Chains A and B, each alone.
Chain A
Amino acid sequence: MDRLRVKYGLSDAEPSREQARLWVSRTRQFMREGVEAEEAGRRAARGVFHSYGQFEYRAEADTIYDLLQAIERE
């Protein structure tokens, strides 16, 4: 659930269990239609989550990158 929130930039209120189940089922449907896995997940997320892409969470890689940039600037 947390991973979906971070991956698709969702609000704290999402995803509910029902939304997560719906996302899985729609992703599988897209994949059965021949869409590549990542793209299938994105398409399903756009249709299921109301807050899709509205929030940005810093991944480990981004934070490390920013810290290294800050060290270089000092």
Chain B
Amino acid sequence: MDELQQKLLLGIGGFIAGFIVRTFIPTRKERFDIKAQQARTSRELLGERQAAYQEFSEALRALQVAKGGGERSAVEAAYWQVRRTADVYFARIDMISSYIRRGDIDPKSAAQDHIDDLVGIARKSLPEYYRVIGLVAEEYGLPKSDVLGEGTTRNLRLPMKERMSAMEHAELLRLWNLPVR
């Protein structure tokens, strides 16, 4: 191989290596931009979650008042409002969990904005919601909400697992009637 060929090969090799580095390894600025975007996404999702929470909690208060009043039509209207707002609220929770699971929210933002709340929701709100709303449906002869199961908690499970001890996580799965694995 003469000198010209060696230079040519070196040039091509350098070009390919440079291309790979530029394409697959983010620069410091790009890494900073990605983190900033993840933090923005996290805050936006937090805002959406809080808005959905407000509507859901107002609907629950309205159902409590309607049930106290004892008028069936009022209970039925309030029941459906709870069902609608709960669907939106739990869909937000599911979406946030899936963002965390995919790494679209960085662990620091997830911990700061969401994880504690997600754990509380998974442990307390979700099972209690399905239990109580089922009782109301039975009492007033209304269609029941879907039971708490695999689909509802699929995305929630990974963030929970990261945050909990193995024993706590197994206990949570039992609470959700899911196989411990």
Which interface class (under 10, 10 to 19, 20 to 34, 35 or more) fits B? 20 to 34
Given A3-B112, A59-B116, A60-B53, the answer on whether A71 and B124 have CB atoms closer than 8 Å is no
Asked whether B117 lies within 8 Å of A68 as measured between CB atoms, the reply is no
Asked whether A71 lies within 8 Å of B125 as measured between CB atoms, the reply is no
Chain A residues with CB under 8 Å of B124's CB are 61-62, 64-65
Chain A residues with CB under 8 Å of B53's CB are 60, 64
Of A64, A69, A71, the contact of B63 (CB 8 Å cutoff):
A71
Asked whether A64 lies within 8 Å of B128 as measured between CB atoms, the reply is yes
Number of interface residues of A (CB under 8 A): 16
Please report the C-alpha to C-alpha distance between residue A59 and residue B114 in the assembled complex, in whole angstroms: 11
Chain B residues with CB under 8 Å of A71's CB are 60, 63-64, 67, 132, 136
Of B61, B67, B125, the contact of A61 (CB 8 Å cutoff):
B125
Please report the C-alpha to C-alpha distance between residue A64 and residue B117 in the assembled complex, in whole angstroms: 12
Please report the C-alpha to C-alpha distance between residue A60 and residue B128 in the assembled complex, in whole angstroms: 13
B57 interfacial by beta-carbon distance below 8 Å: yes
B176 interfacial by beta-carbon distance below 8 Å: no
Chain A residues with CB under 8 Å of B169's CB are none
B121 and chain A: residue at smallest CB distance: A61
B160 to chain A, nearest CB (A): 13
A7 interfacial by beta-carbon distance below 8 Å: yes
Chain B residues with CB under 8 Å of A74's CB are 64, 67-68
Chain B residues with CB under 8 Å of A13's CB are none
> How many residue-residue contacts, CB under 8 A, span A and B?
57
Looking at A64, A71, A74, the one whose CB has the most chain B CB atoms below 10 A away is A71
Asked whether A64 lies within 8 Å of B112 as measured between CB atoms, the reply is no
Chain A residues with CB under 8 Å of B83's CB are none
Please report the C-alpha to C-alpha distance between residue A26 and residue B125 in the assembled complex, in whole angstroms: 33
Chain A 29-70, CB-CB to B under 8 Å as 1, else 0, gives 000000000000000000000000000000111111101111
Asked whether A61 lies within 8 Å of B123 as measured between CB atoms, the reply is yes
Chain B residues with CB under 8 Å of chain A are 53, 56-57, 60-61, 63-64, 67-68, 112-113, 116-117, 120-121, 123-125, 128-129, 131-133, 135-136
Chain A residues with CB under 8 Å of chain B are 3, 7, 59-65, 67-72, 74
A-B contact pairs, 10 of them (CB 8 A): A61-B124, A62-B120, A64-B57, A64-B60, A64-B125, A64-B129, A67-B57, A67-B60, A71-B64, A71-B132
